[in-house]
Amino acid sequence: MSKRKIVLAFSGGLDTSYALVSLKEQGWEVLTANIDTGGLHSGEADVVRKRAEELGSAGHFVIDAREELYSRVITYAVKANYLRNGGYPSCVGAERLVQAEKVVQAALDHNADAVAHGSTGAGADHVRYDSVIRALAPQMEIVTPIRDERLTREFERDFLLQHGFHTPDKVTTYSINEGLIGTSIGGKETYGSWDYLPEDAWTYTKSIADAPADGIELILEFVKGEIISATTPDGTPIPGTGGDAKNYAILRSLNTLAAEHGVGRGIHMGSTMVGNLARVGFEAPGMLTLIAAHRELERLTLSNRQQATKATLGNTYGDLLHEAVYYDPILDDFRAFLDSSQSRVTGAVRIKLIKGNIIPLGSRSPYSLLDAATRQGVVYGYGSSLWSGDQARAFAHMYAIPGAIAKNAGPQEI
């Protein structure tokens, strides 16, 4: 009788390494799928493959999902200026949609009986994976050793050591997930609300103390809300973005460049989809830089009502993605709104990255509302040829009336 076949979402980290050995020990024929959403650097795919083979994978696949992640998820996150609770760009959470879909497709392609992932039951990732599997392959069994057995990372490390497999100390101490959007870091300091991650827990961003004193100035150019170039002031493309670079190359290069200037570190704390508070460290230098520049361009090109409405709908859209509401048709409606809102968000933004700060220096656009006002003689602080002093006085008088009425409402003394 042939073994039952299972496809495991495999990163090579502690949780998925344990899952692979444990599943194999239980009698499964385990195939491993490593989904690259930006976390694999030069040569790392081969390292993960070797790890899978050493642990007993019956077949290993590397699936490049970076371009799909960028076009389906990241572009809309930028258009929405989405930051969870005002500060967190949902680093790896939003990537789980694409990762889970690729794992399910691999399971279907190889006639597997089940899909496995290494998520715990403490966070949101297990819900994200399960939501995709249930939607796309409801007939598939879902196997989750870490969640089901409620294992500690120390137990997993010892289990692997007993089976002859070593794991680095940092992998045991911290749970690290990296992708195009950013990197999330969880460890003992994030279990409470007081402590900050130590310097050696951060993966690639420089500390503010070690960042260059002079910083760097960049010009980011957008067309309809999408980044198309990033250059120095003299027009030189930033490294990694020239030639036949993929459409996610600018974000990838900004991650590297902004990290050198201390940009992108933070710790996010907020409610999970099940209602408890969670805290996690993150590094997202490129995404934070893109959103800051994009928001500055929107201030120049969108009306106040557009910006206010976008802030509400964009945040709702991002929250739904973060909370694994992947397939509700309302997301298509949100994306249609976001696309429409960007019809005039074309232009360039000057920014400076310095000592952990992202400072917008200026912006320009053929759809500039500021330029349109100036052409009609409206100059802030100097008056306007469109109205007279008497008209300005009358406007101020009329504008003040509702407030004056409200202030004087209520019983009056006789």
The pLDDT assigned to 3 comes to: 82
Greatest Cα-to-Cα distance within the chain, rounded to the nearest angstrom: 98
Tokens for 317, please give them.
């859209």
- Give the pLDDT band (50/70/90) at residue 383: low
Distance separating alpha carbons of residues 185 and 267, to the nearest angstrom: 9
The pLDDT assigned to 22 comes to: 95
- Tens of pLDDT, residues 275-284: 788 899 999 9
Contact 116, 26 (CB under 8 A): no
Tokens for 68, please give them.
């799909």
Q: Residue ranges of the alpha helices (H) in 191-284?
A: 249-260
Looking at the DSSP bridge assignments, the partners of residue 32 are: 8, 60
The pLDDT assigned to 381 comes to: 65
For residue 1, pLDDT over 60 is answered with: no
CA 150 from centroid of its chain's CA atoms: 27
Contact 55, 11 (CB under 8 A): no
For residue 171, pLDDT over 60 is answered with: yes
Tokens for 207, please give them.
């500390």
The pLDDT assigned to 2 comes to: 67
- Tens of pLDDT, residues 307-358: 999 999 999 999 999 999 999 999 999 999 999 999 999 999 999 999 999 9
- Tens of pLDDT, residues 10-57: 999 899 999 999 999 999 999 999 999 998 887 899 999 999 999 999
Cα–Cα distances (Å) from 165 to 21, 23, 27, 83, 198, in that order, read 10, 15, 19, 39, 27
What string of DSSP letters covers 73-91? IIHHHHHTT--BTTTB--T
Contact 403, 336 (CB under 8 A): no
User: pTM for this one?
Assistant: 0.93
**Which residues, 6 or more positions from 255, have their beta carbon under 8 angstroms from its beta carbon?**
180, 182, 204, 264, 284, 285, 286, 287
CB atoms within 10 A of CB 88: 23
Stretch 181-204: mean pLDDT, rounded? 95
Amino acid code (one letter) for 300: L
Looking at the DSSP bridge assignments, the partners of residue 30 are: 6
The pLDDT assigned to 76 comes to: 98
Instruction: Strand 5-9: give its sheet, edge to edge.
Output: 59-64, 29-36, 5-9, 114-116, 141-143
* Dihedral sign for Cα atoms in the order 367, 368, 373, 377: negative
Tokens 């973060």 belong to: 322
CB atoms within 10 A of CB 238: 21
Q: Residue ranges of the alpha helices (H) in 150-233?
A: 153-162, 169-173
Tokens 């900004």 belong to: 254
Distance separating alpha carbons of residues 360 and 373, to the nearest angstrom: 22
DSSP summary character for residue 307: H
Return the H-helix or E-strand segment holding 220.
Answer: strand 216-223
Tokens for 288, please give them.
């934070």
